[in-house]
Every structure is written in structure tokens, then in C-alpha cells.
Structure 1
Amino acid sequence: MEGIISFDKFYNIVNNSRVLGDKTYHGIDPSTGKTLWETPVATEDDLDKAVAAANSAFKKWSSLQQHERSRFMRDLADGLEKHKDALTELLGKESGKSVSFAESEVVMGINTMRRHADWSVPDQLLKDTEDVRIVVQHVPIGVVAGITPWNYPFQLAILKVAPALATGCTVILKPSPFTPYTSLKIAEIAAEVLPPGVVQALGGDDNLGPWMTKHPGIHKISFTGSTATGKKIMAVASETLKRVNLELGGNDAAVVTENFDVHEAAQLVAMATFAHSGQICMATKRIYVHESVYEEFMKHLVEIVKGYKPGEGFCSPIQNKMQFEKVKSIYNECEEQGFNFAVGGGSKVSVDDNRPGYFIAPAIVTNPPEKSRIVQEEPFGPIVPVLTWRDDKEVIERVNDTPTGLGATIYCRDEKRAWQISESLETGSVWVNSGLKLDPVALFGAHKQSGIGGELGPLGLKYYTNTRTITYWKDAPKGPQANGNKGLFA
């Protein structure tokens, strides 16, 4: 498909063709509450055609040499780079991000595509003797359905597409109905440089996700979203034994020790907590501060947070009304139970009663009960509890006392102690001395009910492959038949 990419007209992309539909839906600009562009609702027939195209394309795409796929991926990165400014503006509209935050996400996504073009999963030689050679190969799974959420719609779409392409899979994107626009443009731009059927995108209503999950022509679901939805996907995927990659909810904790510079800790924790108003899966949701530095830490943290201005990156709107109401309910529950607010409170949830959009004022709750909702539940909004602790064993137990295990952050300048705490946490990732700072080679996974599988880095590619073990006996008479009393094992 070749032609001008328009950023005010939107289509589903099937087999490199722009597809309209009888029904449409639209997103909402969370900064203003105004409706955005109409987008076609995909039908079950659209999905069937996309799946057929993806399976047909898979045969050729998976047979390409790694360097050939890498070249295509770099061409796609170049195509996205060409439209960087338009994608940034579009992302800001659909997500509510400030220009700087939206641009950062687009650049991160483009770089993610380029980095994945450098990676592969090589064969692993397990044994090579005069009798036998044993090799484990990692072969592409097939057609991947990438189901993405509304908080980071561009980057998380790329995180589905890039490893799929690198390993030889084809992919069908399904963006959140709250933020469909940048994902659809990724597929439209991909259609200019990739063979038909390799990258497609379908937006739609609540029927589309279940159709994809149960479709026998789809071989893997890569989903980022809530734990509740992830459980439903896993249950339905079991009917066809689809592979699943689930990056689900978390309740990430930050632990501030007494030997870290208190002002620096407050700055880093504030960034990791309130960036995009807390609407980041790996954002800090609970802050544990050693009691000896608690008062000083709170003084710095309160000063920082009170300086946030609506519309900027640390006081952006909640992306949609459903989440807006959830965050308000947590805020109001803290008020009703009489919890102490260091910032916010006083029944003033909105940053400005006259301001349109889904803005919520940042709030800090000090030392609420450990079993309260604000501590136990992920708000995914700009409200956070700060709690004191005394010894390492105690805080580790409190951090681990949750059914989720996505990530955690430790602020500690004693390297031995930092490693000991990190290795005691039941989380897929631990960041030491810097939150929200991802290295693209680092695998991003999860423990407990925060997910299954992993993404990012060379290790993340393995989750888009099946293994095939080839055992080649070089001289058959010396093979298993000649084992005599040794039985089945050589």
C-alpha cells in the first residue's frame, strides 16, 4: 500500500489495505473531554480476513534470513521516524500526554524497533560428540495478536510488533478503544514497507478481543492490561492451547533507606510516582521510607509535588472517564476514613473545577493502615501512600504482601544491602537507585498475578518462539539401539 498518510482519517489495516466499516467509534481527548476522530469497528469477517492474511504471510516472513527481516524492521523504524512529529501530536491528543512526554514515548518506540532489529535467538548446541549432535532451535510461533492498553498506546504496540517481527512471526494489533489512533497508524505506515499481512491492525468494540482470543488461526496472545482481563484471556486461550504473554497489574513499591541522599530520593520517587499522573504500569504505587529520614523526605516530596501544574507531564489528565471515576473513589475513600493528607485532601479532587478534561489533583496520604485500599490496590492515578519502616526484614515482608509482583525500586547506596533487599523481593523487576529508567536489553517480566512471560531485550524474543530439539545420531548402530542394558538414555 502506498499513498499519503493522513492523520485525521483512520482505517483498519488488513493485508496492507485500508478498510472502513459500517459502524464507527471514537476516542475522547482527556485534556478537553472533546470527541476525536471516527474509526471503523472491525467485524468478525474483518478478523477472519486478517488472520488468513497473517497465516499466508507467515510462511514467507518466517523463511526469510534474519538479516532480511532486520532490514525490513529498520525500514519500518525509518518510516515511523519520518512521521515522528505527527505521531507525537496524535499521541498527545488520544492519551492526554504533554508534548514532551508524548515525544519521549514515540522516540522510545522507534528506538525499540531499531534495537529489536539487532537481536535474534540463535540455535543452542547442547552436545556434539563423535556419536551425536543435539541442537535446540527457537522457531517462530506463528500469528500473534497484540492487545494493548490505553496508557502507553504507541510504545506498547511496538513492544508487541518488534519481537514478533524479529523472530519471524506476523502480528495483528488490537488497540484499546480509548486510544486506537497511533496503533492504526503504525500498521498503516508498516503497510508501506512490509509485505502484505505481516503487520495488521483492527480496532473495535468489546467483541473483538474475545474473537481474537478464541480464533484458531491465532497462535499467541500478547496482552498488556488488567489482571482480571488477563485471567479471562488465559482461560479462553487454553481451549486452543494458545501461547500467552500477559503483562498485568502491579502495585510497585519504593523502599527508601536511611543511607541515600534524602533530597535526591524525593526527586527520584516523585518522578517515578507522578509521571503521567501515575498511569504507568511500573510507576511507584507505595512508598516505604525509613523512619529516621521520614520527616525530611516528606518535606522535600511535598514541596516537589505542590509545584506540579495541570497539563504538564506530572499532572496530566486521567485518560478516560472510567479510570477517572475509579481514582476519585479511592481518593474519596481515603477522605471518608479520615486518613491524613500531606498533599491534597479537603474533598478537592479536581485540580480546577472550571477546567475541562479528566484532571485529578496529586495527593499524598501519610501512614494509612497497611490493609487499606490505598495501600493494597493499584490506583493508576496521582494518589500515593507514604509509610514508615524500621528494619529490612520488616519492609521486605510488607512489600511482598500483595498478590501482584510486577516491579519495585530500592534507594540504597550500600551495594551489598541493596542486592540483599532486591533478591528478597517477589517481583519481575527491581530497579536500584533510579525508577522509570529502563535499559532496552533488560527483560521485563512479572511474578504472581502480575503476568506470565516477558518482553524487551534479547531474552524477550524467546517468548515469541517454540523450541525444536534435533538429536542427530551420526552413526545409527552406535545410537540408542546399541545401548544394551542402558535403556532409553545414552
Structure 2
Amino acid sequence: MSASTKTQTLAALQVRPVCHVIDGRLVGSERSADVIDPATGQPFGRCPQASPDQLDAAVAAARRAQPAWAARPLAERRNCLHRLADAILAHEPELAALITLEQGKPLKDAHAEVARAASQIRLLTELVIETEVVRDDARGRVELRYRPLGVVGAITPWNMPLVLSVPKIAHALYTGNVIVLKPSPYAPLATLRLGELAHDLFPPGVLNVLAGDHALGQHISEHPGIDKISFTGSIATGKRVMASAAGTLKRVTLELGGNDAAIVLDDVDPEAIAPKLFAGAFVNCGQVCMAIKRLYVHADIYEPLVDALGRIARATRVGNGFDPDVQLGPVQNLAQFKIVQDILDDTRRAGARFVAGGHALEGGQGYFIEPTIVADITEGTRLVDEEPFGPVLPVIRFTDVDDALSRANSTRFGLGGSVWSRNVERAAAIAARLEAGTAWVNHHVGADAQVPFGGAKQSGRGREYGKAGLREYMEEMAVFIPSSRL
């Protein structure tokens, strides 16, 4: 089934090239670029590259469409988004195959991504932002009302193409905004196909999807016709987005990188929790902003847990995502592949112990790196201090919990973190001291569409999901109403 799905998808790309969606129309561009299959390192399709004029046209169409879209009753906007969720599920096999081709993850994980994208729409649209009463007394009534900002520019990364694009669409459209969305040039096709499926589900101009390089992203951030930027990606790029948006004082939401710490206390069973920790670190080949990137383990259970993790890593099958037996795919692009290799080289020079992995897979095709467990390492190395964003996990020894917390918090990152213990109350108290936007107990990775998510420190600005996330797409307005008439 996997092989035939891949063949059918490749054939469809030859017959029907993907297009931008601008003002409700499917359009191409004079320029196009290769899209690389990370499992082979070779191009498998072409992607149109939007020009500045096409961006201007999309923004103009969005501005024309926004007032009428905002005037629609909330229930109508919700129904339109539910139809989008239905379309996503109806085309799940095609969208999943595109994700595996361009992103590399196993096909079953791509199917899960598509299903989750659809469910996020339904969960978000169960929430309602209502007028809040701040005061109602003899002095009068004061209300907080929320209205849409206007045109949202959204820029998404390559690690989870649909699951990070669809919520931005849902946040924006549900709250009465319209959107111009740009996917990563490394993995644009599934998002462009989503735009094609949705182009006639909304009025023209409400949903625009344009592909392009990083220069197009800068144009979106700077564009005077865009009122808000929602960006997910690296800290370095997030800073550039924020600087570009400053010229027009756009509202900005940034969900940026993480170097999440997991702290494992001395009362756990190493064999029991090793699979959960491995999954939290190596999900999507370690290419998840909220994955475990640093594992702090109490000295009393350090060696048994390191050994258990090493055995899991060595038994994990890495390969082409269309192989049904594969558990981890490749690193998504050549640039990131080289970064991970450089970090591995630095780790060897530091004298750390490689318990499992540590090398690119032999064979020369694709961007595959063995699942790697590194022990006897500490702060001051790139692997611990930076975010490798690949299948590599450092395991760090500690003896004092306060010391482990201090080390976990001594970083510019602050996306997520977790604490693992049989004593849930103790673990929760420790987790609450993590300097992060999200903390888990006996679990790691996972965002709930009805719970705000975002980063502390340099891991982000603002929130997405939940009512707080929806409000990020709206302007808060205080309305003072007197208690007596003139």
C-alpha cells in the first residue's frame, strides 16, 4: 500500500502541479523551485515561487474580503472551518503521502498529522470569545470587547507542515480575520494542496496560500497591508521576523525553538519509563520544538536508564517513511543534517560517551542519522547548550534536585520541560519551578488545542491555542457605558 501510495502521489504531481491560492483562484508563477525528498536527497517535484506582485495581490484581496468575513455570524465561520476539516480528512491519504515525500516522517505518522490537523480545527472552534464585564456599578458599566485585527500573515516551518499551518488558519478565520499563509520552502507541497482543497470553501480573498523562499517571508513581515504576523520556527529567524514587523508595529506571535529539559528522579523504574522518554525525545526524528532535548537523570538510576535507552535506540529502524516497518525517517533537509553532524563531531571532541548511534547511516542516500544516545556529558557542549533538532539525546547526571532545576533553567530557551517520578505531587511541585511555557509530569510533548501554548524567555512571544491564543488574533477594546442617560 505504501509503495502504491507513493507512486500515485508522484504521478499526480506530474499531471497536476500544485498552485498558489490568491483571491480564491489557483495560480502559478513564472519561477519554480525543486522540492527535495530527504529520504533520497533528490528532487521529486516542483513548487511555484510567488513574486512580490503576487504577494501584493494576495494582501489586497485579503483586505477587500476581511470586512464581510468579519461580519458573518460566528456560527457561519465555524461551519466553513468544519468543512475544511472534512476536506482534510477526505484527502488524508494524499496529504499524508505528500508529507512523507517532502518531510520524511513515516507514513503512519503523516496520517496522524493529517488527522490531528483536522481535530485541531474542531477543538479550537468549540471555544468562544465573549464580551467581558470589568465593572458594573453606580459609576457605570465597563466592558472588554474583542474584534479581529484584519489581515494575518502566517509563516510556518518544515517539521510539521500541516499541523502547524492549519491552527494558524483556524485561529485567524474563526476570529474574523483573513490570512496570507506561507509554508516553508523545504516542505511546501502539502500546505499548497491544502489551499487548493480549501480555495472554494471560503469567499475569495479569505484564505490565501503562497509558496516562496525566505525573501517572501521577509516581504510578508514588512508588508504594510498585513496587521499581524504568526510565525513558528527558529529563534534566529523569529528575531528577524520581529525586526521586520517593527516598521509597522504589527502584532506578532512567535513560537520558537526549545531546548526542553526532562528531569528524572531516583524513584522511577528505568525499564518502565525508558520507552516513554525515548518517544518524547525522538518523535519526528527529534525534529519537534517541544521534544526532550536534555535528559537530567539522578545518579542512582543513571546507568540503568542510559543502558535501557541505548538498547531502544539500537533496535529502532530508520529508513524511508514509505517502508511500513520504519520507525524514524531522515533529518528533513541537508542544512539541518550538516548541523546535526557538526554537533556530533563537537560531542566526540568533548570526550562524551556514545552509548548508541553517532553516525550518518551508510549508503550515501538521504539525510539519515542513527538514533544517538550520549552519556557522560554536561553543560558547555553544543549538544547540551544548543537545540540539535535531530535524533540525538544527551543524558546528564545529577545528584541534587535543586541543582538539576538550576541547570535546566540556565538557558535562553523556555518552551517546555517535564519531571518524572512515582510521587506525582512532588513531581508537580518541581515542574512548576521550571522556567518554561509548558510543564508536564510523567509525560513530554503534546499541545492541547484548548490550552494556551507558547514559550518563555527566547522561546517565543505570545500564545497560540486556547482562548488566550484566539485573543492574540483580536484587538481588546474597553467600552465605558454610563449608568444614567444624558
Instruction: Classify the TM-score, shorter chain.
Output: over 0.9
Can you give the 5+ residue segments of structure 1 that lack an aligned partner in the other structure?
1-5, 478-490
Other-structure match for 1:468 = 477
Structure 2 residue 443 is matched with structure 1 residue 430: no
Other-structure match for 1:281 = 289
| 8 Å contact kept, 2:313–2:357 | no
Structure 2 residue 133 is matched with structure 1 residue 145: no
2:350 aligned residue (329, 337, 340): 337
Provide closer, same or farther for how the CA distance between residues 369 and 418 of structure 1 changes in structure 2, counting only shifts above 3 A: closer
Q: CA offset at residue 59 of structure 1?
A: 0.5
Q: CA offset at residue 314 of structure 1?
A: 4.4
| 8 Å contact kept, 1:405–1:449 | yes
Structure 2 residue 149 is matched with structure 1 residue 136: no
Q: CA offset at residue 355 of structure 1?
A: 5.1
Letter in 1 for 2:470: L
1:32 aligned residue (40, 56, 77): 40
| 8 Å contact kept, 1:141–1:220 | yes
Structure 2 residue 427 is matched with structure 1 residue 414: no
The more displaced of 33-42 and 135-144 is 33-42
Counterpart CA distance in 1 for 2:451 and 2:139 is 38
| 8 Å contact kept, 2:238–2:256 | yes
Counterpart CA distance in 2 for 1:414 and 1:316 is 35
Counterpart CA distance in 2 for 1:475 and 1:456 is 39
Structure 2 residue 360 is matched with structure 1 residue 350: yes
2:218 aligned residue (202, 210, 230): 210
Other-structure match for 1:374 = 383
Letter in 1 for 2:356: V
Letter in 2 for 1:80: I
SS at match of 1:255: strand
Letter in 2 for 1:166: Y
1:157 aligned residue (138, 155, 165): 165
| 8 Å contact kept, 1:266–1:301 | yes
SS at match of 2:476: strand
Counterpart CA distance in 1 for 2:309 and 2:370 is 15
Matches within 5 A, 1:292-331: 292-311=300-319, 314-331=327-344
What are the superposed Cα offsets for residues 310-342 of structure 1, whole Å, 9 maximum, x if unpaired? Answer: 126643100000000000000111122322111
Q: CA offset at residue 282 of structure 1?
A: 0.6
Q: CA offset at residue 121 of structure 1?
A: 1.1
Counterpart CA distance in 1 for 2:139 and 2:363 is 80
| 8 Å contact kept, 1:119–1:166 | no
What are the superposed Cα offsets for residues 425-471 of structure 1, whole Å, 9 maximum, x if unpaired? Answer: 11001111111233332211110000101112232111111101100
Q: CA offset at residue 123 of structure 1?
A: 0.8
Letter in 2 for 1:93: L
Other-structure match for 1:86 = 94
Counterpart CA distance in 2 for 1:297 and 1:215 is 51
Counterpart CA distance in 2 for 1:139 and 1:26 is 41
Letter in 1 for 2:360: S
Counterpart CA distance in 1 for 2:70 and 2:377 is 53
Other-structure match for 2:9 = none
The more displaced of 416-425 and 62-71 is 416-425
Other-structure match for 1:365 = 374
Counterpart CA distance in 2 for 1:299 and 1:235 is 46
SS at match of 1:292: helix
Counterpart CA distance in 2 for 1:458 and 1:188 is 29
1:23 aligned residue (13, 17, 31): 31
2:209 aligned residue (183, 201, 205): 201
Q: CA offset at residue 476 of structure 1?
A: 5.3
Structure 2 residue 261 is matched with structure 1 residue 253: yes
Counterpart CA distance in 2 for 1:240 and 1:264 is 53
SS at match of 1:371: coil
Q: CA offset at residue 224 of structure 1?
A: 0.5
Other-structure match for 2:178 = 170
Counterpart CA distance in 1 for 2:318 and 2:198 is 35
Counterpart CA distance in 2 for 1:298 and 1:338 is 17
1:272 aligned residue (271, 277, 280): 280
Letter in 2 for 1:136: L
Counterpart CA distance in 2 for 1:156 and 1:357 is 24
| 8 Å contact kept, 2:124–2:449 | no
2:412 aligned residue (403, 407, 410): 403
The more displaced of 259-268 and 222-231 is 259-268
Q: CA offset at residue 95 of structure 1?
A: 0.4
Q: CA offset at residue 137 of structure 1?
A: 0.8
| 8 Å contact kept, 1:258–1:293 | yes
Letter in 1 for 2:342: S
Other-structure match for 2:6 = none
Letter in 1 for 2:459: S
Other-structure match for 1:95 = 103
Letter in 2 for 1:317: P
What are the superposed Cα offsets for residues 11-41 of structure 1, whole Å, 9 maximum, x if unpaired? Answer: 1110111111111112101011221221211
Other-structure match for 1:453 = 462
Q: CA offset at residue 192 of structure 1?
A: 2.2
SS at match of 1:52: helix
| 8 Å contact kept, 1:368–1:385 | yes
2:56 aligned residue (44, 48, 59): 48
| 8 Å contact kept, 1:234–1:244 | yes
Other-structure match for 1:485 = none
**Which segments of structure 1 move beyond 4 Å, counting only runs of 4 or more?**
none
Other-structure match for 2:19 = 11
Q: How many pairs were matched up?
A: 468
Output the TM-score relative to the length of structure 1: 0.93
> Who wins on radius of gyration, i.e. which is larger?
1
Counterpart CA distance in 2 for 1:472 and 1:440 is 35
| 8 Å contact kept, 1:408–1:427 | yes
Other-structure match for 1:3 = none
Q: CA offset at residue 140 of structure 1?
A: 0.9
Letter in 1 for 2:121: M
What are the superposed Cα offsets for residues 391-449 of structure 1, whole Å, 9 maximum, x if unpaired? Answer: 22111100001011000111122233112211111100111111123333221111000
Output the TM-score relative to the length of structure 2: 0.94
Counterpart CA distance in 1 for 2:177 and 2:269 is 47
Letter in 2 for 1:34: Q
Counterpart CA distance in 2 for 1:368 and 1:435 is 22
| 8 Å contact kept, 1:30–1:96 | yes
Q: CA offset at residue 373 of structure 1?
A: 1.0
Counterpart CA distance in 1 for 2:357 and 2:191 is 35
